[in-house]
Structures are given as C-alpha cells and as structure tokens.
C-alpha cells in the first residue's frame, strides 16, 4: 500500500503556483508556435493555391463598395460580379497595352542610350581614378558572355518557363476565385460560420466585417497613394523627356504596394534610366523628384489616406515585410503587410467592444481568463494571423485556429 509523503508538494500546487503557471503557459505558446510553423510550411507547399486565394480575397475586399453600390441600384449579384470583373480586366489590359506600345516605340532609342552610357562608364573606369585597365573590363565582359552561353543559363531559362507556367495558372485561378468571392462572398463566410453559435457566431461576424474593411481600406488607400506617386514622378519624367516614362510610372505605382522600400526602389530605377539616357544632371533632378514625392507621401498623404486601415508601427511593417519576402518572394512582400494589418485588427475585434469590462489585474499576473496581460498582446496577433489565413483555405482549419486562439480557462 503506497503512502503519500506529506513533506512533498502536491502536483496540483506545483502546477498552480506562479512558476508552474508560467511553465504551462510557456508550453502552450511553444505548442502553438510549432503548430503555426507546420501550418505555414504546409501553406508554402500549396502556394500555387494559397497565393491566388489571398490575392482574390484582397481584391474582392477592395471591390466590396462597388459591389454594394451596384446591388443597391437594382443589379443582381451575378450581373454586378460580371460588371466589376470585366471592368477590372479591361483597365488592367489597357494599362498593359499602353506599356507594350511605349516600350516598343522607344526601345531603339533606349538601346542606343544604354550603349552610349556603357561606353561612357567604360571610358570612366579606364581613365578615371580607379585602378582598372581595359584587360580587366574585357575579362568581365567575357565572363558575362560565357554565363549567357553556358548550360547553367539554359537550365535557368527552362526553370523560368516553368515559373511562367505557374504564374499563368495562378493568374487564371485567382480570377476564377475572385469571381466566386465577389458573387458569393457572404455565403462562403456564412458556411464557415455555420458550426458556430452564440458568442462565437457573433465573433465570427465581427472578424469577417473587420477583415473586409481593413483589407479593402488598405488596398484602396495604397492605390490612392501609389497613383499620386506615379503621377508626380511620371509627369516629372515626361517634362525631362526621360525614355519609358509611362512604364516607369506604372512600376512606381506597383512598387508602392511594397511599403517602405517599393516606391524608393522603383524611383531609383527611374533615376538610373535617366542617367543612361539623359546624363547626370537629369538623373539628379529625377532623384530629387523621387525624394520629394516620398517625403510628401510619408509625412502628409499616407497618414491621411491610410489612417483607418493601417495602424501598425513601422518596425512591425518592416518585420512583416522581411518575413513575407523570405517566405513568398515579391508576392510575399506585397501580401505580408495587409495580412499583418488584418491580424492585428482581428486581435482587437476578438472580444465584443460592447461587453462589460473585466476588473483590471497587475501586468504579468494571471487573469480570470488564464492569460497574462503581458503575453496576450504578443500572442493574439500571431493567433489571429493563422486564423485569418486558415479561414480562407478550409472551414476545418479555421475552426482549429479559432480553438487555439480562444482564451483558456482559469487555472485550477
């Protein structure tokens, strides 16, 4: 017959004192991070499906006001969807057509300017202060030619064809998914929420509403800021007679969707084109225009336009941008910031703002819900991010993410 040593603390007391409570919470956080890592790796393997779904979700959120306006004026869901989708395709096709014609008309001039610029650079390197002679330049050129004629470059070209096929497949899939999101978005979200009831159902409705508002506001606000940047820099390039002004303006517009670095990088590209085609003076003027436009955007335009849709610290944006670039390349860089904004918005909308406030507790101490007030703000955005992405993939994954995020009960 076993006896219990009264001098030894009971298991219950070991788990419910401060050290035991912190150990349990640490284990829960590590378990969640492990599950989140597995989920992210799984989504990366399915990126050909996940990325079109996310792009379609963001575009559908941006087009939600137009869909509501069309339905308000008596159009059916299918007609409003076709009008919205065809209008977007026509606008996108018109922009691509203008870019192609602009490049085609100015290609010869740009090639000639590029050759002159390369000759000037070569002359500067040989006769300038740098210890470089013609032999070293010829060796570098031979190395470039050998690379383009090597089997390694041919293998890379074949891989590029495969990537192009994936891009076309992803684009077609994104358009199809966008059609159904525009037409049946409310029905799809209601299907995801069908297993829920009561407070959880209300929470699901809050999350759906705030996600659409934040995503749509982010895309519309970023497009407004990008249009101003592209117009200002494009007009400057036209006045200075820089070749390919329209394609460069479009690149500035697209680059603005990558926060912090996108507009700056495309502006520098415009300055390099001006340097090759028009010389140092025009390149410096273009660079000054880019700096002035970026200052105007950062200090005035973006705080006004994006005030209600992107309330993230620049450090959070930079971390999200870096993580998105590592995981998904350029596409990840474009999608990372709106996903982070939605995650934070979901974390703030998780609890009902009209519910009575609970008594306050000291920072770092266990709350009645069992979560430390110091840990909750860190865990909630990550949990919400996983829940938001998973809900766009499958209902079962969404329910699992919701269970992970639910506040644990009071420790016994």
The answer to whether the CB of 405 falls within 8 A of the CB of 350 is: yes
| pLDDT tier at 152, thresholds 50, 70, 90 | low
Residue 365 falls inside a structural domain: no
Query: What are the pLDDT digits (tens) for 32-52?
Result: 899 988 887 887 788 788 888
- Comparison of pLDDT for 357 and 299, the residue scoring more: 299
Average pLDDT of the chain to the nearest whole number: 75
Residue 190 falls inside a structural domain: yes
Lowest mean pLDDT among 132-146, 149-163, 202-216: 149-163
Can you tell me the distance from the alpha carbon of 378 to that of 363, in angstroms, rounded to the nearest whole number?
13
The answer to whether the CB of 247 falls within 8 A of the CB of 268 is: no
pLDDT higher than threshold 60 for residue 402: no
CA dist list (Å): 321 to 67, 144, 190, 258, 330? 30, 32, 31, 8, 10
Residue 202 falls inside a structural domain: yes
Query: What are the pLDDT digits (tens) for 265-287?
Result: 888 888 888 887 787 888 899 99
Residue 325 falls inside a structural domain: yes
The answer to whether the CB of 64 falls within 8 A of the CB of 211 is: no
Residue 9 falls inside a structural domain: no
First-to-last alpha carbon distance for the chain, in angstroms, is 28
User: Domain containing 400: what range?
Assistant: 46-123+131-352+370-405
Can you tell me the distance from the alpha carbon of 129 to that of 351, in angstroms, rounded to the nearest whole number?
66
**408: its two tokens:** 């644990």
Of all residues in the chain, what percent carry a pLDDT higher than 90?
6
| pLDDT tier at 309, thresholds 50, 70, 90 | low
Q: What is the model's pTM?
A: 0.64
Q: What are phi and psi of 133, to 5 degrees?
A: -110, 175
Q: How many domains does the chain have?
A: 1
17 three-class SS:
coil
Side-chain half-sphere CA neighbours of 166 within 13 A:
12
Residue 39 falls inside a structural domain: no
The answer to whether the CB of 302 falls within 8 A of the CB of 225 is: yes
| DSSP per residue, 197-252 | -HHHHHHHHHHHHHHHHHHHHHHHHHHHHHHHHHHHHHHHHHHTT-TTHHHHHHHH
**241: its two tokens:** 């007679």
Residue 364 falls inside a structural domain: no
- How many CB atoms neighbour CB 128 within 10 A? 10
Can you tell me the distance from the alpha carbon of 114 to that of 111, in angstroms, rounded to the nearest whole number?
5
Residue 204 falls inside a structural domain: yes
| Cα-trace Rg, the chain | 27
pLDDT higher than threshold 60 for residue 208: yes
């Amino acid at each position: 017959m076993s006896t219990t040593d009264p001098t030894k603390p009971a298991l219950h007391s070991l788990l419910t004192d401060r050290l035991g409570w912190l150990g349990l919470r640490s284990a829960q956080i590590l378990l969640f991070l492990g599950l989140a890592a597995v989920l992210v790796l799984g989504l990366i393997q399915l990126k050909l499906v996940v990325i079109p779904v996310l792009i379609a979700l963001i575009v559908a959120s941006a087009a939600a006001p137009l869909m509501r306006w069309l339905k308000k004026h008596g159009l059916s869901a299918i007609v409003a969807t076709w009008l919205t989708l065809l209008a977007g395709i026509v606008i996108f096709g018109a922009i691509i057509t203008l870019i192609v014609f602009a490049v085609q008309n100015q290609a010869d001039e740009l090639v000639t300017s590029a050759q002159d610029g390369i000759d000037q650079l070569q002359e500067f390197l040989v006769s300038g202060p740098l210890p470089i002679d013609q032999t070293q330049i010829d060796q570098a050129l031979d190395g470039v030619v050998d690379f383009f004629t090597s089997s390694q470059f041919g293998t890379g070209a074949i891989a590029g064809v495969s990537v192009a096929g994936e891009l076309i497949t992803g684009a077609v899939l994104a358009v199809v998914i966008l059609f159904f999101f525009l037409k049946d978005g409310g029905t799809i979200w209601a299907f995801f929420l069908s297993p829920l009831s009561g407070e959880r159902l209300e929470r699901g409705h809050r999350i759906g509403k705030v996600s659409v508002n934040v995503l749509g506001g982010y895309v519309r606000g970023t497009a407004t800021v990008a249009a101003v940047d592209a117009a200002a820099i494009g007009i400057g390039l036209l006045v200075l007679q820089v070749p390919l002004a329209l394609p460069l303006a479009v690149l500035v517009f697209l680059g603005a969707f990558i926060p912090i670095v996108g507009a700056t990088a495309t502006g520098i590209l415009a300055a390099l084109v001006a340097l090759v085609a028009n010389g140092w003076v025009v390149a410096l003027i273009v660079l000054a225009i880019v700096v002035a436009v970026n200052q105007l955007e950062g200090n005035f335009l973006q705080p006004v336009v994006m005030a209600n849709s992107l309330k993230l610290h620049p450090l959070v944006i930079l971390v999200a941008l870096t993580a998105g670039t590592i995981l998904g390349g350029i596409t990840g860089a474009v999608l990372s910031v709106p996903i982070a904004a939605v995650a934070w918005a979901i974390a703030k909308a998780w609890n009902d703002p009209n519910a009575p406030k609970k008594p306050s507790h000291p920072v770092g101490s266990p709350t009645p819900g069992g979560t430390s007030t110091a840990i909750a703000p860190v865990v909630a955005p990550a949990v919400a991010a996983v829940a938001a992405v998973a809900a766009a993939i499958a209902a079962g994954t969404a329910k699992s993410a919701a269970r992970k995020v639910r506040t644990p009960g009071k420790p016994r």
